[in-house]
Amino acid sequence: MTISDDSETYTVPPHIPSKDTNPAKRPATSSAEDSPEYKILKAEFDRVTTFSQTQQAMYHELKSDFAHLSRQFQEATQQAQTGPAQ
């Protein structure tokens, strides 16, 4: 391809695509999962997930214990008001 100007003539070489334009033929690159940043984020995510699951299990256990103790308290209060069972 030639571009003409009044003072000079420029020759531009034709565009030849790189031989590596086919993604299947490109050299394999490391995945994002291999990066140190990903590993740090994944470890933090796993830590927070484990913490949340433990916290949720403890909450449900505490809620169940509270309900059980509330029933026992109500029964004891009722017995105290009506007198001991004979």
Distance CA 41, CA 47 (A): 10
Give the pLDDT of the chain (86 residues) as one tens digit per residue.
455 555 567 677 777 766 666 666 655 667 888 899 999 999 999 999 999 999 999 999 999 999 999 999 999 999 999 876 55
Element holding 39 (H helix, E strand): helix 36-82
* Structure confidence at residue 72 (pLDDT): 96
Strands, DSSP E only, in the chain?
Answer: 2-4, 9-11
* Structure confidence at residue 34 (pLDDT): 86
* Structure confidence at residue 56 (pLDDT): 97
* Structure confidence at residue 3 (pLDDT): 52
